[in-house]
């Protein structure tokens, strides 16, 4: 009876093992068989399976999916796309649990020539999309649109307005019609105790570029000489051309009321022995040389030097400037509009003959 009962118990186990043999590997069959024996012999010892709560990793999975969409495969390598890093992926990854497999944006490497620095000892962090590279500028000629530009050592401001508040003469009152200041400011003192010009250097004056068109058309054949001698004496060519227009309208044959010669109206005492003051080449060069000496003698005050070229001494008054007219020497007067016409007219490529206030040479 006992034997038949034991065989009856083993029959289900043998049947189960036969069924499992077709899909379980041989090295695992003994485990499955042992489990079935335990279920039959000791059914009360088996406890119901307990479901194990898996660790929630949704945030990391979301980050992984977003990052995966932002890379492109080429061969066996995965490289980030050329677009910027997806901020959503970075936000999700930062909320995930720390892991050695979390993607970290590579630190940018910038050379000294690629990273903009602000002040000595300070360096601004730069990303690949915010790195500022200073543009290279190469220009060998004087250009009109820029400010404080130079040409071979001399410089003039070629746009904007003069901005000077002189201790004696006050604010220059410059505007679009008079970029180098008002006539009262330029002639400071002539209607009072005497001319005391405000201090202005040559590179502070506002000017335009010299060319052979417009009001300087009469000077067209002499532009090369203005350029050459301006370079030699460190004077901007438009200033030499402005003297030629102011003094003689660029006519080399003109003789002034006091015997002044040619294009630049060189006074007889300033013509060197052995030179022809009406010779154009010598005349322009001598005028540039004299004006350079006037600038140096005035301590760099270009307004004082411009006035001196027309014979203005410091302390000049209106009465002194016009005194020659009463002596029958009308053309020997000092032109009281000279500074205004020169700086706000000719130097701006404008016809200056009608500019000013005094016009004390009209009718001479």
Q: What is the DSSP letter of 345?
A: T
Supply the Cα-derived Rg of the chain in whole angstroms.
47
Is 74 a member of any domain?
Answer: no
Q: What is the DSSP letter of 113?
A: T
Q: Specify the 3-state DSSP secondary structure of 49.
A: coil
Q: What is the pLDDT of residues 167-185, one digit of tens each?
A: 999 999 999 999 999 999 9
Instruction: Count structural domains, the chain.
Output: 1
Category of 210 on φ-ψ map: left (φ > 0), alpha (ψ -120 to 50) or beta: beta
Among the listed ranges 51-65, 161-175, 310-324, 345-359, which one has the minimum average pLDDT value? Answer: 51-65
Residue 156 tokens read as: 């003039």
Q: Is the dihedral of CA 98, 100, 104, 110 positive or negative?
A: positive
Is 179 a member of any domain?
Answer: yes
Give residue 168's domain range.
149-348
Is 319 a member of any domain?
Answer: yes
Q: Specify the 3-state DSSP secondary structure of 73.
A: strand
Is 176 a member of any domain?
Answer: yes
Is 171 a member of any domain?
Answer: yes
Among the listed ranges 14-18, 225-229, 330-334, which one has the minimum average pLDDT value? Answer: 14-18
Give the DSSP per-residue string, 145-203: SSSSEEETTEEEB-SS----EETTTEE---BTTBTT--HHHHTTTTTTT---PPP--GG
Q: Are 234 and 241 within 8 A, CB to CB?
A: no
Is 340 a member of any domain?
Answer: yes
Largest CA distance in the chain: 166
Is 144 a member of any domain?
Answer: no
Contact residues for 224 (Cβ-Cβ < 8 A; gap 6+)? none
pTM of whole model > 0.75? no
Is 29 a member of any domain?
Answer: no
Q: Specify the 3-state DSSP secondary structure of 255.
A: strand
CATH number of the domain where residue 191 is located: 1.10.530
Q: What is the pLDDT of residues 33-50, one digit of tens each?
A: 555 545 544 554 455 554
């Amino acid at each position: 009876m006992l034997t038949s009962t034991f065989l009856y118990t083993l029959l289900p186990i043998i049947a189960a093992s036969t069924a499992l043999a077709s899909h379980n590997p041989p090295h695992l069959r003994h485990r499955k068989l042992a489990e079935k024996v335990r279920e039959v012999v000791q059914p009360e010892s088996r406890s119901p399976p307990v479901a194990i709560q898996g660790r929630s990793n949704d945030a990391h999975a979301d980050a992984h999916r977003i990052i995966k969409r932002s890379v492109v495969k080429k061969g066996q390598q995965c490289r980030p796309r050329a677009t910027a890093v997806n901020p959503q992926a970075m936000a999700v990854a930062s909320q995930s649990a720390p892991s050695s497999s979390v993607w970290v944006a590579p630190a940018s490497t910038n050379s000294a020539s690629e990273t903009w620095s602000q002040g000595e000892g300070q360096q601004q962090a730069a990303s690949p999309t915010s790195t500022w590279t200073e543009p290279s500028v190469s220009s060998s000629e004087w250009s009109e649109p820029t400010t404080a530009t130079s040409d071979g050592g001399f410089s003039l401001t070629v746009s904007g307005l003069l901005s000077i508040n002189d201790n004696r003469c006050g604010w220059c009152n410059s505007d679009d019609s008079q970029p180098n200041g008002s006539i009262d400011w330029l002639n400071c003192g002539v209607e009072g105790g005497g001319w005391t010009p405000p201090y202005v250097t040559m590179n502070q004056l506002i000017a335009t570029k010299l060319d052979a068109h417009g009001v300087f058309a009469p000077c067209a054949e002499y532009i090369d000489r203005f350029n050459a001698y301006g370079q030699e004496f460190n004077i901007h060519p438009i200033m030499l051309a402005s003297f030629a227009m102011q003094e003689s309208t660029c006519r080399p044959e003109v003789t002034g009321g006091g015997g002044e010669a040619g294009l630049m109206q060189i006074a007889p005492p300033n013509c060197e022995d052995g030179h022809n003051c009406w010779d154009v080449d010598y005349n322009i060069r001598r005028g540039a040389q004299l004006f350079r000496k006037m600038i140096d003698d005035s301590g760099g005050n270009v307004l004082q030097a411009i006035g001196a070229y027309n014979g203005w001494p410091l302390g000049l008054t209106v009465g002194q400037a016009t005194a020659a007219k009463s002596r029958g020497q009308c053309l020997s007067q000092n032109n009281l509009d000279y500074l205004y016409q020169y700086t706000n007219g000719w130097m701006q490529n404008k016809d200056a003959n009608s500019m000013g206030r005094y016009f004390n040479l009209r009718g001479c």
